[in-house]
Amino acid sequence: MASTTSQWHRCKIDRKLLKELSQRNDLTPALWFGSYLLLVAGLAAMTVWTWGTPQAWIWAILHGLSWGAISSATHELSHGTPFKTRWMNEAVYWLMGWMGQFEPVSNRWAHAGHHNFTHYDGKDTELSEPNPVTWRNFFNVGFGLWAAAYYWRFLIGQSFGIFPRDIKKQIPEKELPLAIWNARIMVLIYAGFIAWAILAQTWLPIVLVVAPRWISGPITGFLHLTQHTCLKMNVPDHRFSTRSFKASPITRFFYFNMNHHIEHHMFPMVPFYNLPKLSAAISDQLPEPCNGLYGVFSEIITGIRRQHREPGYFIEKAVPGAAVREAA
- Provide the mean pLDDT of the chain: 94
| Its pTM surpasses 0.75 | yes
Q: Would you state the pLDDT for residue 273?
A: 98
- Dist. CA 43–CA 205, nearest whole Å: 14
If you average pLDDT over residues 41-68, what whole number do you get? Answer: 97
Helical H runs in the chain? 15-21, 27-49, 55-66, 70-78, 86-100, 104-116, 135-143, 145-159, 165-168, 176-200, 204-209, 212-215, 217-228, 238-241, 249-255, 261-266, 275-282, 292-309
Residue in 15, 36, 61 with CA at minimum distance from that of residue 267: 15
Residue in 119, 169, 133, 130 with CA at minimum distance from that of residue 327: 119
pLDDT confidence bin for 323, thresholds 50/70/90 = low
- Does 143 have pLDDT greater than 50? yes
Q: Please write the tens of the pLDDT for every residue from 216-263.
A: 999 999 999 999 999 999 999 999 999 999 999 999 999 999 999 999
Residue in 275, 216, 228, 261 with CA at minimum distance from that of residue 36: 216
Q: Would you state the pLDDT for residue 76?
A: 94
- Dist. CA 109–CA 268, nearest whole Å: 14
Q: Would you state the pLDDT for residue 2?
A: 43
Q: How many CB atoms lie within 10 A of CB 244?
A: 27
- Dist. CA 113–CA 125, nearest whole Å: 5
pLDDT confidence bin for 87, thresholds 50/70/90 = very high
Is residue 6 included in any domain, yes or no? no
Q: Would you state the pLDDT for residue 145?
A: 82
- Dist. CA 265–CA 276, nearest whole Å: 14
Q: Would you state the pLDDT for residue 65?
A: 96
- Dist. CA 125–CA 13, nearest whole Å: 29
231 or 128, higher pLDDT: 231
Q: Would you state the pLDDT for residue 77?
A: 97
Is residue 315 included in any domain, yes or no? no
Three-class secondary structure of residue 69 per DSSP: helix
Phi, psi of 320 (to 5 degrees): -55, 120
Instruction: Provide the domain limits for residue 240.
Output: 32-309
pLDDT confidence bin for 31, thresholds 50/70/90 = very high
Is residue 2 included in any domain, yes or no? no
Q: Please write the tens of the pLDDT for every residue from 147-157.
A: 888 999 999 99
Q: Please write the tens of the pLDDT for every residue from 180-215.
A: 999 999 999 999 999 999 999 999 999 999 999 999
If you average pLDDT over residues 98-109, what whole number do you get? Answer: 95
Would you say 239 and 9 are in contact if contact means Cβ atoms under 8 Å apart? Answer: yes
- Dist. CA 57–CA 75, nearest whole Å: 29
Indicate the number of domains in the chain.
Answer: 1
- Does 19 have pLDDT greater than 80? yes
Q: Would you state the pLDDT for residue 1?
A: 36
- Does 98 have pLDDT greater than 80? yes
Q: Would you state the pLDDT for residue 147?
A: 86
Question: Which of 14-28, 55-69, 137-151, 246-260 has the weakest average pLDDT?
Answer: 137-151
Q: Would you state the pLDDT for residue 327?
A: 47
pLDDT confidence bin for 37, thresholds 50/70/90 = very high
- Does 325 have pLDDT greater than 70? no
Helical H runs in 79-134? 86-100, 104-116
Is residue 10 included in any domain, yes or no? no
Is residue 77 included in any domain, yes or no? yes
Q: Would you state the pLDDT for residue 328?
A: 43
Q: Which residues contact 173 (CB under 8 A, 6 or more apart)?
A: none
- Does 310 have pLDDT greater than 90? yes
If you average pLDDT over residues 120-140, what whole number do you get? Answer: 94
Is residue 323 included in any domain, yes or no? no
Is residue 5 included in any domain, yes or no? no
Is residue 320 included in any domain, yes or no? no
Q: Please write the tens of the pLDDT for every residue from 258-277.
A: 999 999 999 999 999 999 99
